[in-house]
Amino acid sequence: MHDLHDPAQRVLQITAYESLDFEHALQYSKTSQIGAYVIRKALIRKHYLSNTVSTWLVKHPDSILTQHFRPCVHFELDYAEFLDEALVDAWDLNESMTENEQKESSEQKQWWILKPGMSDGGNGIRLFSSLEDLQAIFEEWEGDESEDDTEDESENQAPELPTHGSHDEGNAMTSQLRHFIAQPYIDPPLLLEAYGNRKFHIRAYVLAAGALKVYVYREMLALFAAKTYQSPRHNEESGTLDLAQHLTNTCFQDEATKSSSVYSFWSLESTGMRADWKEDIFRQICAVTGEVFEAAAREQMVHFQAIPNGFEIFGVDFLVDADANVWLLELNAFPDFKQTGLELQDAVVGGLFREVTRAAIAPFFGQAESESTHMPLVRSINLGRG
């Protein structure tokens, strides 16, 4: 931005978040457009997202989010030995664990999913059905951290999170990932025989523009797990859970399975499904997306600040259950487009940026916005910010 002859001349900033000149954009809001919002953790941090939804539902108990987002238990934990104290107020979780202890059959138990509030790429996700399971997860992470501390002590370095290629893939470190959420696990998911009955999630690309219009790009991805799905209720007797049956994030897969794990949502083959099942899922995704952005914009104004000269692309993940109901999983800023693959790159990524130019960039620089069926407007909110 220092190279501009006139600081007030028209400029568009699209680069990594850390490199954006927010000060310039805020100072010259009529001529400087920026490709991210300064603050949006009400959406992109899991524990903040949980609070965004729960706060919205208090005031809007009939919101569609009641049917499309699983309530979360949020807790903070530094060390595994303090887990009991951290869960004192986790009424729903404690009640579920107590009920599980009284059930003779593992098939009757309710399973939960643990997610670090500030991790990405599926890092740290685990499943559990008892407080003993949960305790063991944190003790395992703490053990890994102690080993890394010992190795790095001579170099005076802070321990790093394990990489996806390391032997403890999917692990996390308790002291570094202090915030956690636990949710009832969605089981069973929708399984398609043509893809080996593997679990999958949908990655939708969402544009938030100005203050505030929200669009959903029609081209979506279906990302499959590496192995055939088996309910945790059915394989508990073996004593181990194979996360490759449950984690649909391609970060955990090698190149051999990645090639058969990413598909265009609209090209999915199915038998026994209604003819319009994909359109119905897309309608649900559009409705849920619009609702969660409005919830953040209206009820979390400190943690989501939409500005008139800003826009941002989010990767939003959804799971479809066996009844074809859509569940919101998470929202990601600066989504990773590499998982799209070369075959879908132009249709998904290229088409997305053409639509972003049409809906967000061109209107800011004086061109009329044209309607498009490729990226429908799902929510328009006047936040009174210009």
Please report, for the domain that includes residue 331, its CATH number: 3.30.470.20
Is 1 in contact with 294 (CB distance < 8 Å)? no
* CATH code assigned at 160: 3.30.1490
The answer to whether residues 296 and 224 belong to one domain is: yes
64: exposed, middle or buried (Cβ count in 10 Å: 0-12, 13-18, 19+): middle
Question: What is the rounded CA–CA span in Å between residue 323 and residue 123?
Answer: 28
Three-class SS state of 6: coil
Is 322 in contact with 189 (CB distance < 8 Å)? yes
Instruction: Single out the residue in 184, 214, 249 at which a domain terminates.
Output: 184
Is residue 91 situated within a structural domain? Answer: yes
Instruction: Single out the residue in 142, 168, 184 at which a domain terminates.
Output: 184
Taking the model in full, what pTM does it have? 0.90
Instruction: Single out the residue in 162, 184, 206 at which a domain terminates.
Output: 184
Residues 6+ apart with CB under 8 A from 301: none
The answer to whether residues 275 and 360 belong to one domain is: yes
Residue 379: its pLDDT value, please? 98
Mean pLDDT by groups of 10 residues along the chain of 386 residues:
72 96 94 97 96 98 98 93 94 96 89 90 89 94 64 41 39 66 97 97 98 98 96 74 91 76 95 94 99 98 97 98 98 90 89 97 91 94 87
The answer to whether residues 307 and 350 belong to one domain is: yes
Question: What is the rounded CA–CA span in Å between residue 116 and residue 290?
Answer: 25
Boundaries of domain holding 114: 71-184
Residue 181: its pLDDT value, please? 95
Residue 242: its pLDDT value, please? 92
